[in-house]
Chains A and B, each alone.
Chain A
Amino acid sequence: MAEQLLETGSAAGRGQILRLEGVRKSYNVGTPIEAEVLHGIDMTLAAGEFVALIGPSGSGKSTLLHLVGLLERPTAGRILIAGKEIARLDEAGMTELRGRTLGFVFQFHHLLPEFTALENVMMPTLIERGRYDQAMRDRAKWLLGRVGLGDAMAKKPSALSGGMQQRVAIARALAVNPPMVLADEPTGNLDSHSADEIFALMREINRDDGTAFLVVTHDARLAGRCDRRVELMDGSVRT
């Protein structure tokens, strides 16, 4: 079944950045309110692919993204990121893999309010390298320039509009130049004009850098502009 899925991917053969096999997720395991949210998900994401994850509210999109993002562990099934089986990793290994290979963009921006835009963009690299250096500063400035915020680098998030904050978040997700970015409704909180711009920015980065994107969205119009759509329905992939 996994092979079939691989063939259906438009970027098949370019190597997989993500592979899910029979992934299940239950909450409150062992209690009377135990509930399975994901019922055996199989899917892949090729390197450099731009995929929309769609589905009605409560279908398990965010849950799936958190599993892929190594923020939670699946109850059953296998998840491979850049060929690495994550079940074998301990907490430290997960943290390291997350820091190196994944960028996150969330619906509610989730920037650190105490830090400037520039410092927010440097944060993942600061975490990775332990202390500030000139190279990370240069890259962060370059990234902010690229998302069109060259003039707002010293501003705190509270001084930026929603669209601008989301641009900072995208720049931050790209800080360590990860092969894959996970975005949970990155435009869900923006007006349609800003949403279009943010979406266009992500596509541009995908095209120029070959960064793979897995983007959760409710917006059918934007989903239509992706390489491929994966639709979730009640915790299963609809084919």
Chain B
Amino acid sequence: MPFEWVLALRFLREGHMQTALIVAGTTVGVAVIIFISALMNGLQASLAERTLSTQSHITVRAPDEAAMPVLDRAGQAVAAHIEPRVQRLRSIDQWERVFRELPAIPHVVDVSAIATGSGFAYRGNASKSIALIGVDPQRYRRIVKIEDKIKAGAYRIGPGEAMIGIELAHDLGAAVGDRIRVLSSENRDDVFRVTGIFDLGVRDLNRRWVIMPLRSAQSLLDLPGGVTHIDLTVDDIFSAEAVAQQIAARTGLTADSWMAINTQLLTAFKNQTMTTRTVRLFLILIVALGIASVLVVSVVQKQREIGILRAIGASPRRIMKVFLIQGGIVGGAGALMGSGLAALMIYGASFALRQDDGSALISGRIDASYYLSAAAVALLTGLLAAVAPARRAARLDPVEAIRYG
């Protein structure tokens, strides 16, 4: 073992109490940093997951029809006020080509085409305003997990069959097997047998959604062979906005990510992340100050010995290294033990902290990158915190130490 390490280790070992305290402090700091990061990410992931249980990650649709200003020959706008145009129900142009291209875009996982519009549902005397949602059930199940939310009947829509929300079923007094009549905004009508009743956990959707085969919706909405939306999922939900922008640029269509739609949630996430960062920063600062203060005290206590070491041939550089190594060791030990402690805390929290559906808020298995980055930060903090004390040690005048030591 090199001389500098021999000294650093011995100084730490002989400084029992000081060393134990500062390593403990660093350990707690590192553990809390890892733990709050894991907790925040768990919280955000579970909120995002809940939001996305009834939404696609990205929805692609035809661009809005822009109102064109009326221009005179010189290109001057004639009308002072431009009325926004009423948006017609329109199919995405050449949607099948787009539909085939989308899966090739990085991060895109599943794609489903949808024809949707509004209308009314009737049963007996009851009539309700609804949203017609025409899907390919095999593809759509991978976008929105309605299968898990079926309260009665089954996830199945063959020709002439539909699944409806639980509130709508209640409003219409319809049960599985009953028939309902649907009239679209295009004034076409059709009859469906209810095969499934779902509860998406969102009142508005439970009251309005009628999920039917794509072909039925196309004819009801007068969109032969057309679709109004393409829903898709991505592998990393937080990459959705970037992927959406890429899709928009590539296809010229409008692509909205769940992040752009749920701006409030995203803002909340950002604020949480900022808070976590601030807390982390202060923890690092406290750890750094703790390590630095212990080392400064140690340098003062060891003035005499530093003087002797200089007198018997140790250069200022090597004295400096001795104290840098001590900072590194404290940071490193704190990183190791802090990671262990954090693993325990996260394991405990995976039992203690439950969501209202009973699942764990944070999973016991946390990405190794949390540990690695926190450990790297602790090590670096230890080294940096040691710089000032180490320089002070190196600058000590050996004669002072010997004369008055």
Contacts and interface: CB of A to CB of B under 8 A. Distances in A.
Interface of A: 62, 66, 69, 71-72, 91-92, 95-96, 98-100, 104, 106, 108, 110-115, 123-124, 126-128, 130-132, 172, 176
A160 B238 CA distance: 68
A131 B403 CA distance: 29
B405 A110 contact: yes
A67 B315 CA distance: 17
Contact of A71 (B14, B310, B314, B316): B310
B1 A99 contact: no
Given A110-B304, A112-B305, A131-B1, A95 B405 contact: no
Interface stretch (B2-10, B81-89, B347-355, B360-368): B2-10
B312 interface: yes
Contacts of A69: 311
- 3 cross-chain pairs, A with B, having the tightest CB-CB distances, nearest first: A99-B313, A114-B14, A95-B315
Interface string B157-182: 00000000000000000000000000
B402 interface: yes
6 contacts: A106-B308, A112-B305, A113-B305, A127-B318, A130-B2, A130-B3
B312 A104 contact: yes
Given A114-B10, A130-B2, A71 B398 contact: yes
In the complex, which of the residues B1, B2, B304, B402 has the most CB atoms of chain A within 10 Å of its own CB atom? B402
In the complex, which of the residues B11, B314, B316 has the most CB atoms of chain A within 10 Å of its own CB atom? B314
B154 interface: no
A99 B10 contact: no
Given A110-B308, A112-B309, 12 more contacts: A72-B399, A91-B315, A95-B310, A95-B314, A95-B315, A99-B312, A99-B313, A104-B311, A110-B402, A127-B313, A130-B3, A176-B313
Given A72-B399, A91-B316, A130-B3, A114 B11 contact: yes
B221 to A, nearest CB: 83
Contact of B308 (A100, A112, A176): A112
Contacts of A124: 312-313
Contacts of A100: 313
A127 B308 contact: no
Contact of A128 (B6, B11, B313, B316): B313
Contacts of A111: 308
A113 B399 CA distance: 19
B312 A131 contact: no
A24 to B, nearest CB: 17
Given A131-B1, A131-B3, A172 B10 contact: no
Interface in B1-53: 1-3, 6, 10-11, 13-14
Nearest to B311: A104
B312 A66 contact: no
Contacts of B399: 66, 71-72
Contacts of A66: 399, 402
A38 to B, nearest CB: 14
A45 to B, nearest CB: 19
A153 B204 CA distance: 85
Interface in B352-405: 398-399, 402-403, 405
Given A91-B316, A126-B6, A62 B403 contact: yes
Contacts of B13: 114
Nearest to B9: A114
Nearest to A94: B315
Contacts of A71: 310-311, 398-399, 402
Nearest to B1: A131
Nearest to A69: B311
B393 to A, nearest CB: 14
A132 B7 CA distance: 12
A62 B11 CA distance: 29
Contacts of A92: 315
A186 to B, nearest CB: 13
Nearest to A182: B311
Contacts of A62: 403
Contact of A127 (B1, B312, B398): B312
In the complex, which of the residues A96, A106, A110, A176 has the most CB atoms of chain B within 10 Å of its own CB atom? A110
Contacts of B318: 127
Contacts of A95: 310, 313-315
B11 A127 contact: no
B3 A127 contact: yes
A178 B370 CA distance: 54
B1 A132 contact: yes
A91 B395 CA distance: 12
A220 B255 CA distance: 100
